[in-house]
Amino acid sequence: MIKIGHHVTIAMDGPAGSGKSTVARRVAEKLGLLYLDSGAMYRAVTVLAIENEVEKDISKLIELVKTCRIEFMDNGKKILLNSEDVSVQIRTPEVNKLVADIAKVPEIRHEIVKHQRKIGEEGSIIAEGRDLTTIVFPDADFKFYLDASVKERAKRRFLELQAHNTDITLETVETEISERDEKDTSREHSPLRAAKDAIRVDTTGKTIDEVVDFIVAQVNSRN
């Protein structure tokens, strides 16, 4: 448990399938931290675009983003968009397809980053995504960069998808992951990259518990 009175910020980045959401959620539970899933916020903005039919009208979408309310409940398990629970909608294939193009718009990122920093002021936090260690919380107390081979990440996603009875093949998942990596790392604004001072964790062949224990030990060793 983090010492009372000591406000701690843990930032974590990594590519799709690196395990960061599951790991961050468990670390939050173990250390009694607020959990911030930053990708869920870009997904909620994508739902906002679809609901208002402004996926192609980015300037209208930017205006909507400026006045929308995005809130988390149950420590990050639920996400509300203008009071509507969109926790299921944010994970649909339609959102999966659109989100990267919406997340690359600088004005949208600007609004979302402001919001994320405000959440960070509320208390000790673990926040994960693509630019948490580099842009959102560059002065975080702890920075981690989680990675794993494309093959391993594709296998994890494939098993998750199979549990939901989708008939996608492992090869297709691998191709999608590679395409997403390319988009996330090559975009002009806030591309995914490891901060120089981030601790790199290769999760290939490691269990979630092993990664969680490593991170908790790192934090406890400096508290």
Q: Which residues bind ligand DC (CB under 6 A)?
A: 16, 38-39, 42-43, 99-100, 103, 129-132, 184
Beta bridge partners of 125: 9, 34
What is the residue whose two structure tokens read 């030990």?
217
Type of residue numbered 64: L
Q: Please report how close the Cβ of residue 183 comes to ligand DC at its closest, in angstroms.
A: 7
Q: Please report how close the Cβ of residue 23 comes to ligand DC at its closest, in angstroms.
A: 13
| 125 SS3 class | strand
Nearer to ligand DC, 81 or 132 (CB): 132
The tokens for 30 are 């173990």
Nearer to ligand DC, 30 or 189 (CB): 189
| 28 SS3 class | helix
Nearer to ligand DC, 38 or 124 (CB): 38
The tokens for 43 are 């997904």
User: What does the alpha-carbon distance between residue 89 and residue 118 come to, in Å, rounded to a whole number?
Assistant: 25
118 in Cβ contact with 104 (< 8 Å): no
Nearer to ligand DC, 32 or 117 (CB): 117
Q: Please report how close the Cβ of residue 113 comes to ligand DC at its closest, in angstroms.
A: 8
Q: Please report how close the Cβ of residue 87 comes to ligand DC at its closest, in angstroms.
A: 12
